[in-house]
Amino acid sequence: MLTIKLHFIRLSDVSLADIYDQTGVYVLWSGKAKAVPSYIGEGDILERFKSHTRKQWAARPIDGVIALIEAPTSGKQKAYAELAEAALLHVAKIINRSPTHNGNRGKPTAALEKSLRHQDHNIGTIRLVFSGRDPLRAPSNPPMSAKKWIVLREVSEGWYIDELHWNNRAS
């Protein structure tokens, strides 16, 4: 089993040195966002943030959460970040918190399947564990009192979500 740990911290608690040349997954809330996030993304954090500053939806003040990806290689970091983003999009749709400005907003299952195709097929089970701030709740909410997780299993037909421990009411 592969376990990917994602500890989300609020952007206001992150320094430039923390995210310099780092790959991660993030959830942004524009100044107009109240109930659902504006955008869920992944990749080289500084590059991605720079690209978002030009977007019309990115009204100030921008708030959000970020989880840096720890992996043995940069290729694995990118693969894990893509998987985490796709999983968050999938969960967001299930709990009615889909971001308002993701291009693939209506296709989180397809994004998840695409991401899983790039994973090592010898794994069989992938567990994503979320701690710190709830990435699908406003960043001003307190940190989660318990971890949340998603377990994906591979069968002959492909990958499926075997466990989804994501109680939207728990913080």
Angle, vertex CA 79, rays to CA 4 and CA 135, nearest 5: 55
Query: pLDDT digit string (tens) for 69-79?
Result: 988 888 888 88
* SS3 readout for 93-126: HHCCCCCCCCCCCCCHHHHHHHHHHCCCCCCCEE
pTM of the full structure: 0.86
pLDDT at 110: 59
**How is the chain split among helix, strand and coil, in percent rounded to 5?**
25, 30, 45
Amino acid at 85: E
Q: Can you give the residue ranges of every domain in the chain?
A: 2-165
Tokens 């989804």 -> residue: 164
Q: Is 24 exposed, middle or buried (0-12, 13-18, 19+ CB in 10 A)?
A: buried
How confident is the model at residue 171, as a pLDDT?
Answer: 47
User: In 3D, which of 157, 72, 158 has the Cα closest to residue 115?
Assistant: 158
Confidence of residue 114 (pLDDT cuts 50, 70, 90): low
Percent of the chain at pLDDT > 90 equals: 44
The pLDDT score that the predictor gives to residue 117 is 66
The partner residues of 25 in beta bridges, in order of sequence, read 42, 67
DSSP string covering 48-79, please?
HHHHHTT-TT-PSSPEEEEEE---SSHHHHHH
* 82-95 tens-digit pLDDT: 889 988 998 998 89
Query: Does residue 27 register a pLDDT over 80?
Result: yes
pLDDT in tens, 40-56: 999 999 898 888 777 77
